[in-house]
């Protein structure tokens, strides 16, 4: 079924602003469509470097539509500007719509206080595993729709249906225009890995093959060699079915998506598992978590964090 996103957004009724990020130039707005919660995420688009390089003689007139001087001092001049726009090559913004939005979605995008956690193996077994169990089933239906039912197949960059295969497709954070902002997602077929905590030494070859295939496919499709890619996972992940993030090393910013306390490079995961096959089952893992995360609602988990 084809979604008419224009119609849905026209029916969007504003409730409140969830968050606004001046670094990523992104705003998340909570509203309703047909009385059901919806989240509208609007992010200003980066410049299309490939388009600019293709016709450098027309720069800056191709980019700038009009100017109004703010001030000048010696050799420094600054002004407000409106930019030329083209929906395909120079879009003003990228829009994401989550509808219907669950309370989990709302908590994820709502502004929140953050905490640094050192999750011991004991905390993981006592609090995190029971939480993960509540986040499976219907909550992963959209993942299984991609892997096994061909949902979004028109966007697939690569699809290997074997047991150790995966789907590689553009992440919703990428506008599919600027290679500098390339952001892909690899979702594996294996059902036995929810997060890095489930990995062991027996997965070293699997992870190496996975990363090598991603690098080859991305190079063939987009011309980016492996030394221009970051391949990493998140802990805690946003959903508990193993998946990898692939971004251009020149990506200017992803909020906290590639920050310390969130992103872990696959190369480092492989090296750690070579040192000790039970590394991630034994390790105390440090990460940043927001108070809107489901884990923070667990009293024992909170108390463990505060007693560290």
Residue 164 tokens, joined: 């150790």
pLDDT given for residue 258 in this prediction? 64
**Which residues are 13's β-sheet partners?**
32
pLDDT given for residue 257 in this prediction? 59
Give the DSSP letter of residue 240.
S
Sign (positive or negative) of CA dihedral 225, 262, 293, 190: positive
pLDDT tens-digit profile, the chain (308 residues): 568 899 999 999 999 999 988 777 889 999 999 999 999 999 888 777 777 777 767 677 778 889 998 988 888 898 999 988 888 878 888 899 999 999 888 988 888 899 999 999 999 999 999 999 999 988 899 999 999 888 889 999 999 999 999 999 999 888 888 888 899 999 999 999 999 999 999 999 999 999 999 999 999 999 999 999 999 999 999 999 999 999 999 886 665 556 677 899 999 999 999 999 999 999 999 999 999 999 999 999 999 999 98
pLDDT given for residue 92 in this prediction? 87
N residues, the chain: 308
pLDDT given for residue 62 in this prediction? 77
pLDDT given for residue 3 in this prediction? 80
What is the rounded distance in angstroms from the CA atom of residue 43 to the CA atom of residue 16?
17
What is the rounded distance in angstroms from the CA atom of residue 289 to the CA atom of residue 294?
10
What is the rounded distance in angstroms from the CA atom of residue 27 to the CA atom of residue 21?
6
Residues designated catalytic: 243
For the chain, the 3-state helix, strand and coil shares in percent, each to the nearest 5, are 35, 30, 35
Domains defined for the chain, CATH in brackets: 1-45+93-111 (3.30.200.40), 48-90 (no CATH), 112-306 (3.30.428.10)
pTM over 0.95: no
């Amino acid at each position: 079924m084809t979604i008419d996103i224009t119609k849905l957004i026209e029916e969007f009724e504003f409730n409140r602003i969830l968050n606004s990020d001046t670094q990523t130039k992104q705003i998340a707005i909570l509203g309703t469509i047909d009385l059901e919660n919806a989240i509208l995420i609007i992010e200003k688009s980066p410049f299309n470097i490939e388009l600019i390089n293709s016709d450098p003689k027309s720069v800056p007139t191709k980019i700038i539509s009009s100017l109004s001087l703010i001030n000048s001092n010696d050799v420094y001049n600054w002004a407000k500007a409106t930019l030329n726009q083209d929906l395909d090559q120079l879009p003003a913004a990228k829009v994401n719509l989550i509808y219907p939005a669950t309370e989990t979605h709302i908590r994820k995008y709502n502004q929140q206080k953050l905490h640094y956690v050192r999750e011991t193996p004991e905390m993981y077994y006592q609090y995190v595993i029971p939480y993960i169990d509540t986040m499976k089933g219907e909550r992963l239906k959209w993942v299984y729709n991609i892997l096994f039912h061909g949902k979004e197949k028109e966007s697939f960059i690569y699809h290997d249906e074997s047991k150790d295969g995966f789907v590689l497709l553009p992440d919703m954070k990428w506008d599919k225009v600027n290679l500098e902002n390339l952001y892909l997602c690899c979702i594996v077929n294996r059902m036995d890995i929810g997060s890095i905590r489930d990995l062991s030494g027996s997965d070293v070859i699997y992870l190496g093959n996975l990363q090598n295939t991603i690098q080859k496919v991305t190079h063939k499709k987009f011309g980016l060699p492996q030394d221009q890619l970051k391949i990493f996972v998140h802990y805690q992940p946003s959903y508990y079915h193993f998946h990898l993030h692939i971004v251009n090393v020149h990506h200017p910013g992803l909020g906290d998506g590639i920050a310390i306390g969130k992103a872990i490079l696959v190369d480092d995961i492989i090296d750690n598992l070579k040192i000790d096959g039970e590394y991630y089952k034994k390790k105390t893992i440090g990460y940043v978590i927001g108070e809107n995360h489901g884990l923070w609602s667990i009293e024992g988990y909170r108390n463990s964090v505060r007693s560290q």
